[in-house]
A and B are shown apart, each in its own frame.
Chain A
Amino acid sequence: MTEKTKNLICSVAFLAIGTLIYFEATQIKVIMAKDLGSGFFPKVVGITMILMALLELILTLVMGSKNGQATEEGDNDKKGMLLTVACMLGYAALFDTLGFILSSTIYLFLQITVLSNDKNRKLPLFAIISVLTSIAVYGIFVYLIGMPLPTGILDF
């Protein structure tokens, strides 16, 4: 992705967010006398965001030719990031249902495996670390600090 494309995405996204904030703010009514109302400040934020995004857009289009080179992204492992995000989403989805210990054990094992490489991949060690860490964190938070965590299907 070139620097120009990044700046264009940035300005368009903020233009959209600023517009949304402004229009939502116009729906808010003033209910107290002598007060600006709860819609005033969001309107200021929305308008400023729109103006800044437009400025960024204009500068990007004007300076476009200088910033047209693609940035170095050749070494980035997009598959690694997608797998990491998938592990996190699965963890959050199963956190309440399976409970803290089971979901954390599964997440830790999968996430450590995803982040490891062929040289340092030791699955039995990863499994032991996953189980012990989950039990230790559960013990510290539930029994030592007294913060409840979901028990899920294990029910203890």
Chain B
Amino acid sequence: MIMQALVNVCNPTCLALISLGVVVGIIFGSIPGLSATMAVVLFLPLSFGLEPTNGISLLIGLYMGGISGGLISAILLKIPGTPSSIATVLDGGPMAEKGEAGKALGAGILYSAIGSLLSIVALIFISPYLAALTLKFTPVEYFAIAVFSLSIIASLSGNSLIKGLLAGLLGISFALIGLAPIDGLSRFTFGSTDLMSGFNIIVLLVGIFAVTDIMMAGLGRKHLDDAYGKKAYHLKGFGITLVEFKDQIVNMIRSSIIGIVVGILPGIGGNVAGLLSYTAAKNSSKYPEKFGTGIVDGVIASETSNNAVIGGSLIPLLTMGIPGNTVAAVLLGGLTIHGINPGPLIFQKSGVYVYGIFFALIVATLAMLVFERGALPIFVKLLDVPKHILLPIVMVCCVVGAYSSSSRMFDVWCILGFGALGVVMKMLKIPSTPLIIGFILGGMTEENLRRALQASEGSISVFFTRPISLAFLVAGFLCVAYVLKNKYKNHGENTLGEKE
């Protein structure tokens, strides 16, 4: 099985797709306004037409490149290309101002690759044990996992927990449309034959994450191509000496562990991992006062940990189907499209594809290291491509993606509808990620609830008497309670501040 996966990944088509994914991902990650999520979403329809290993490998390449690409604009423009690179700006920006942009870029690329590799090792060693542990799961446990995963919405809700929950419920409502699970009854189709098969996940993702942004670009077109004041750079090798590398080993390992743990924990993204590692590096440094003035330690902490999130986030995704962040939610959609159902049986049922994902991650990391370093001058040049030209081209790709998913105009109209919904949600300050989580988990929640209650003859006590189910329900409750406590605390501090 492992050898078959290795052969699948090492064929020229797959290697070319991973390289394409990494390069496109870096471009999307580096240009502010485009994101890693948008890159993965846009290529989902294309991956659907490919053999599963090739399709998933392409998405993995996009994820890897997208997260890493953010460092280029974070250092040269002082604008994080993706939210994951926020902490990179803190020292990367000042380094560029001191004329050390090359060193910051080189170290950022090298430690992104190291962070990724260490997290892949964690993924390979932890996930089979976790999957084996979850082998005895019944619909009761699956329902509890779904409820726990839905509780992630609380931490992804931004400023308003209620609006986040409403968005999550709206996502579940979209998942209700079409044929119901178990009895196959047609629901909420309002007589439309197009709605019988429900909404395609690709259509929802493209609409909410890509079309919305292009519509919003029209609203901000006056400042769409404002000059950023890009810094120049000079770089030899990866910009750091062997002595500096040895000095940074503790920082590197600590940041990787933080990234992996943050990736495993649901609802916390790469941006938090970067900031946590940056803070940890600063607090344990012999020269904390130098952080923020342009030292390489800060760039290394941020870039190692935001890439370590990738492997970490795939652990709960593959073994339990829990998407820890937005890109992971999109990847979950991609796996489902290819018939790979994450869960305890994933190693038995789709072992070739899972090992394929492991190999694809390693290849994508190496491709990222080679391409991002080798073609750095081209990526830097691409920062100058005007957005008034780039965004309409992205829109054409969105329409092609939606149309080719099932060759019908209905899906093209749907992406416009979901794009408009995304705009309304942005205007009303309703977060969109909970909608996606709700849509993806809605079907799983309902089906397992009904199956569990069928088996228990309607008794809900079964969810509280089985220990694993109870543990997940308690964890979900604690997750929401923790978010509520933090929000209450912040609200109290803000109110005090206003009074003062």
Asked if A and B bind, the verdict is yes
CB of B435 to closest CB in A, whole Å: 12
CA distance A81 to B222 in the complex (A): 11
Residues of chain B within 8 A of A14, CB atoms compared: 166, 169-170
B7 on the A face (CB < 8 A): no
A124 on the B face (CB < 8 A): no
> B430-459: which have CB < 8 Å to A?
430, 445-446, 449-450, 453-454, 457-458
B185 on the A face (CB < 8 A): yes
CB of A96 to closest CB in B, whole Å: 6
Residues of chain B within 8 A of A127, CB atoms compared: none
Main secondary structure of the interface of B (DSSP, over half): helix
Given contacts A28-B187, A38-B185, A116-B388, contact A53 B166 (CB under 8 A): yes
Residues of chain B within 8 A of A35, CB atoms compared: 182-183, 450, 454
Mark each residue of chain A from 7 to 19: 1 if its CB lies under 8 Å from any CB of chain B, else 0: 1011000100110
Residues of chain A within 8 A of B445, CB atoms compared: 41
Given contacts A85-B215, A146-B49, contact A52 B165 (CB under 8 A): yes
In the complex, which of the residues A6, A55, A85, A95 contacts B399, with contact meaning CB atoms closer than 8 Å? A95
Main secondary structure of the interface of A (DSSP, over half): helix
B180 on the A face (CB < 8 A): yes
Residue of A nearest to B413 (CB): A92
Residues of chain A within 8 A of B223, CB atoms compared: 75
Q: Are B396 and A107 in contact (CB under 8 A)?
A: yes
CB of A4 to closest CB in B, whole Å: 12
In the complex, which of the residues A10, A53, A120, A137 contacts B396, with contact meaning CB atoms closer than 8 Å? A137
CA distance A37 to B449 in the complex (A): 11
CA distance A120 to B428 in the complex (A): 32
Q: Are B389 and A31 in contact (CB under 8 A)?
A: no
- Interface residues contributed by chain A, number (CB under 8 Å): 70
CB of A22 to closest CB in B, whole Å: 11
Residues of chain A within 8 A of B130, CB atoms compared: none
CA distance A30 to B386 in the complex (A): 57
Q: Are A81 and B388 in contact (CB under 8 A)?
A: no
Residue of A nearest to B163 (CB): A10
CA distance A31 to B184 in the complex (A): 10
Mark each residue of chain B from 25 to 40: 1 if its CB lies under 8 Å from any CB of chain A, else 0: 0000000000000000
Q: Are B225 and A88 in contact (CB under 8 A)?
A: no
> A76-108: which have CB < 8 Å to B?
76-78, 80-85, 88-89, 91-92, 95-96, 100, 104, 107-108
Residues of chain A within 8 A of B221, CB atoms compared: 77, 80, 84, 114-115, 117
Mark each residue of chain B from 401 to 417: 1 if its CB lies under 8 Å from any CB of chain A, else 0: 00110010100110010
Q: Are B396 and A17 in contact (CB under 8 A)?
A: no
CA distance A134 to B225 in the complex (A): 23
Residue of A nearest to B211 (CB): A88
Q: What 5 additional pairs, Cβ within 8 angstroms, besides A49-B169, A52-B162, A115-B218?
A: A10-B166, A10-B428, A32-B182, A38-B182, A88-B395
